[in-house]
Structure 1
Amino acid sequence: MAAKDLIENFKAGPSCSICLDYFTDPVTAKCGHSFCIECLLQCMEGVDATLTCPECRQLIQISSLIPDRDLQQLSTSRKRRRHRLLQSMENLTTCDQHGEKEILFCEEDQKVICESCSLASEHKDHQMILVDRAIDKYKAILQEHKNRLRRKQEEIKSRLEKTIRIMNSYEEHICVLEQSIKDEYKEVHEFLENEKRLHLQLLKKETRDKEAKNQQKKAKILQQMKLIQRKILNIKENMVKAPVELIQGMKSSMAGVEELLQEPDPETGPEIWTKYRITGFRKMLMSYFRDITMDPETVGPHLTLSEDLKHLKCGIPDDNDFGALGAQTFTSGKHYWEVELDHNIKWEVGICQDPFSRRGNLSISTDDIIALEGFRFGKNSLVWGLEDDDIVSEPIEKLGIFLDYEEGHVTFYNVTKEILFIYCSPTTVFEGPIRPYFCLSSHIEDPIPGSLIICPKSN
């Protein structure tokens, strides 16, 4: 189809039979014919004259005229399309071979051609579209890629902000770890001062290493953002070029976009800090060792207690939790005991406000309990405290519990050949007697019954 025919083709379609042009504010009469409102009103002669349809001559009531928004929108669209085609005709290049305007774009060859070229054998069966349609199509494609890149940019920005927040939180982590190390070394006095200094140096080095690692993550994220911004700028520059340059430069514009979108995201997971072994610390804790037994009257259902009141075992597999309290109560001082956790799927060990002294019965509230809870899966364990944050993932076979009544906190340790700090509860003002607390559960799918053993001092 020739360029002139293409333009004339846009003239065809919805038009007013009075002005023979596209509709302006079209209305539709009851007879079904549509006209521009101004054109129709001009057909009236005199104020009281009747109005008849110019098409079928039926009587028309002004009040019965219905504005046709769909027809108005269609006419406006056709006007705009025709106007753009006329403009594009002015900017089109001329074919050197045929002297015709190059109004078509061959999508297979990515080339603008004239109508005569489209009939040649080299373009036979190729998909042809008008140049202005090609411009719209490829602008839409570029816009979509730009939007995707911007979304990717926002995601990376969010990860950068998260990484910066992690880095900013180092000061708090350092303060907590330094304080825990200082407090523990305070108990063993001067002969551990050198080791304390060494551990603080190691902590600072670990902090610098983690900062350096996160600086690398930050640099990588910033580099990703820089590459994406550069590609967005390149696309913007190509989008404002002349139409022919725009579509012929599509390959260059889209180069590398998918690689940027598919580049893996830098990891921003939680930090794992080294647990420092304190020489001789367990020996100091053992000076506060208490021989703990369980109170048989507090043992929950489905639990069995050994004759020495130290070995607690689930009688049958059950998904519920069952607890017991220690027979000893504490109202002051420092106290330490250890518990072997065997192969329990789930356990909870700590201290509890004595319910008998507070309420006169065994009713225990969760607010009365300060405990460390663990869950075993395979050869690993998850452990968490009051804040519900994962604390340690290595298996715990023996747990040490240290109660400092006056200071108002409970500290938990992983007891191996050395002793490793796990968690310290927030400071609490204890009121009244405190008892050791134990809780077990055995899952139905686990054939091994859950159990725990309170360790004697000789162990």
Structure 2
Amino acid sequence: MAAKDLIESFKAGPTCSLCLDYFTDPVTARCGHSFCIECLLQCMEGADATLTCPECKQLIQISNLIPNKDLQQLSTTRKRRRHHLLQSLENLTTCDKHGKKEMLFCEEDQKLLCESCSLAPEHKDHQVVPMDIAIDKYKVMLQEKWNILKKKEKEFRMILEKMKRITDPYMDNFFCFKQALKYEYKKIHEFLEDEKRLHLQLLEQETRDKEEKNEKKKDEFSQQIKLIQTKILDIQEKMDKNPLELIKGVKSSLEGVEELLDQEPDLEDGPEIWTTYRTTGFKKMLLRHYRDITLDPETVGPHLIVSEDLKQLKCGIANNERDGGVGVLGAQTFTSGRHYWEVELGDNIKWEVGVCQDPLSTRGNLSILVEDIIALEGFRFEDNFLMWASERDDIVSEAIEKLGIFLDYEDGNVTFYNATEEIYIYSSPKTVFQGPLRPYFCISIHNQENIPGSLIICPKSN
């Protein structure tokens, strides 16, 4: 289609038959014909002249004329399109092959064509349309997508508004929640501080009571010593006198001696056990670092047996094919961090539990040396119980059923707890750990009933 024909085709649409141009304020008569209102009124001759339709000559009553808005809108659109087309003709590209304006569009190849190119064999079966039709088509397509996107945008805006209605109250209360959380932790800190202050006061009072008791006891012993010393001096004086005076005074010198000799120094039950205090929340804190410890069968001594689940250690028949001590190491190695585990000690006569330098990393073998061990030892005999650490002589404590071990590698410290009563027992002096550490366990050959001794590592679920 030539450019001129294309432009003229726009005039074949909504145009007035009187002015031959696009409608301006069109009206429609009862006969169905439409004209510009001004063009139609110009057809009247005289003030009282009748008006007839220029197309079919039917009588037209001006009061019966109906404004045609649809025709007006269509005319406006076509007029605008024609204006744009006239402008676009100046900007149309020219075909390099034929030198003609490219006014057609191939929908398959999405390419502008001139009239000669559209007749080429490669476009024979293609849908080739005038550029304005293609523009209208793609505008409609884009308009549809635009409408869908606007609808989708509206949906998301509605969801966003709904989210705001849901989340805004929470965000508005964020400061209140934050302050409440701080206040709760402040109360916990205050509670722990009060508990610490109370426990320290009780410990100080207990210390004063023990000191007062000890001072009283020492005063009693001092008085007893003075009485004995006085009697010793009295006897010494009698012994230094002549025999006659010695015989006369011997009875008075021996008075009270038997009574002094019958008195025995009394330390009651030996060193007193200090009152221990349970710290609120300490067990929960330790359980955050709980490790599922298992025994390493490769480190079992000749008198020990490890259960299939690697959790229980028993004393059994000597295994002469193995070398090593009577202890066993845990399978886990620790080179950093905090770690906690618990051991049920049963009714062993003697046990030793703690940590040990990994002998494989230090010496390349499984032999365990005493200097590599940081442990707590317990000894039970009838109703008596004694406990001592590898760094000191002894620790006064009641018998323990379940022992908790807490290793803080960076702090260089191993702490032991009575896990049943949830109280502190002992903490090793701080040191700088070098290399891997492993859990260490050792038990007696048998208990007081001559039953083979055993201990159990508590599972993590407990």
- TM-score for both structures, normalised by structure 2: 0.53
Report 1:177-192 matches (<5 A). 189-192=189-192
C-alpha distance 286-242 of structure 1, shift in aligned 2 (>3 A): same
| Alignment partner, residue 433 of structure 1 | 436
**d(CA) in 1 for partners of 2:254 and 2:385?**
48
The corresponding residue for 2:426 is 423
What is the aligned partner in structure 2 of residue 304 from structure 1?
305
Look up the match of 2:255.
255
CA change 1:324–1:240 in 2 (3 A) is closer
Distance 1:294 1:197, change over 3 A: same
Match of 1:358 in 2: 362
- Quote the offset at 1:412 in angstroms: 0.9
1:294 is matched with 295
Decide whether the 8 Å contact of 1:336 with 1:400 is kept in 2: yes
Instruction: For 1:230 and 1:198, locate their aligned partners in 2 and report how far apart those are by CA, in whole Å.
Output: 47
Structure-2 residue corresponding to 1:374: 378
In structure 1, the partner of 2:198 is: 198
Q: How does 1:94-173 map to 2 (within 5 A)?
A: none
Deviations 1:171-195 (A, max 9, x none): xxxxxxxxxxxxxxxxx95431111
Alpha-carbon RMSD: 2.8
Q: Counterparts of 1:447 and 1:294 in 2: how far apart (Å)? A: 24
Measure how far apart 1:345 and its partner are: 2.3
Aligned to 1:331: 335
Deviation at 1:388, TM superposition (A): 5.0
On the 8 A contact 2:315/2:446 being kept in 1, the answer is: no
Answer whether contact 1:410 1:425 (CA < 8 A) is retained.
yes
- Structure 1 residue 380, shift from structure 2 partner: 4.2
Q: Is the 8 A contact 2:349 2:447 kept in 1?
A: no
**1:317–1:443 contact (8 Å) kept in structure 2:** no
User: Distance between the aligned counterparts of 1:334 and 1:248, measured in 2?
Assistant: 79
2:278 equivalent to 1:277: yes
- Check 1:403–1:190 CA distance in 2 against 1; reply closer, same or farther (3 A cut): farther
Change (3 A) 1:251 1:391: same
2: CA distance, partners of 1:379 / 1:242? 57
The SS at the match of 1:261 is helix
CA distance in 1, matches of 2:447, 2:283: 37
Supply the distance in 1 between the matched residues of 2:245 and 2:362 (Cα, whole angstroms): 84
1:413 and 2:414 matched: no
Evaluate the alpha carbon distance shift between residue 415 and residue 248 of structure 1 in structure 2; reply closer, same or farther with a 3 A threshold: same
Bigger relative CO (Cα 8 Å, ≥ 6 apart):
1
SS at match of 1:399: strand
Q: How far apart, CA to CA, are the structure 2 residues paired with 1:349 and 1:413?
A: 12
- For structure 2, which runs of at least 5 residues remain unmatched after alignment? 1-187
- Structure with larger Rg: 2
Q: Which amino acid aligns with 2:459?
A: P
Per-residue deviation at 1:211? 1.1
Are 2:318 and 1:314 aligned? Answer: no
- Asked if structure 2 preserves the Cα contact closer than 8 Å seen for 1:221 and 1:266, the reply is no
Equivalent-residue separation in structure 1 for 2:239 and 2:330 (angstroms): 76
Q: Do the aligned partners of residues 199 and 262 (structure 1) sit closer, same or farther apart at CA in structure 2, a change above 3 Å counting?
A: same
Report if aligned partners of 1:322, 1:439 keep a CA contact under 8 Å in 2: yes
**Gap change, CA 1:234 and 1:449, over 3 Å in 2:** closer
Opposite residue 361 of structure 2, the aligned amino acid is: S
How far apart, CA to CA, are the structure 1 residues paired with 2:234 and 2:443?
A: 63
Aligned to 1:395: 399
Aligned partner of 1:448 in structure 2 is 451
Amino acid at match of 2:200: L
Q: Which residue of 1 aligns with 2:49?
A: none
Match of 2:345 in 1: 341
The 8 Å contact of residues 356 and 374 in structure 2, kept in 1 or not, is answered as yes
State the AA in 1 paired with 2:221.
I
Offset of residue 393 of structure 1: 4.8
Q: Is the 8 A contact 2:304 2:318 kept in 1?
A: no
Q: How does 1:211-222 map to 2 (within 5 A)?
A: 211-222=211-222
TM score, norm. by length of structure 1: 0.53
Deviations 1:430-455 (A, max 9, x none): 01111111122314985422222111
The residue type equivalent to 2:453 in the other structure is G
Identity of aligned residues (%): 70
Counterpart secondary structure, 2:326: strand
Q: Is the 8 A contact 2:373 2:390 kept in 1?
A: no
236 and 440 in structure 1: CA distance in 2 versus 1, 3 angstrom threshold: closer
Gaps of 5+ in 1: 1-187
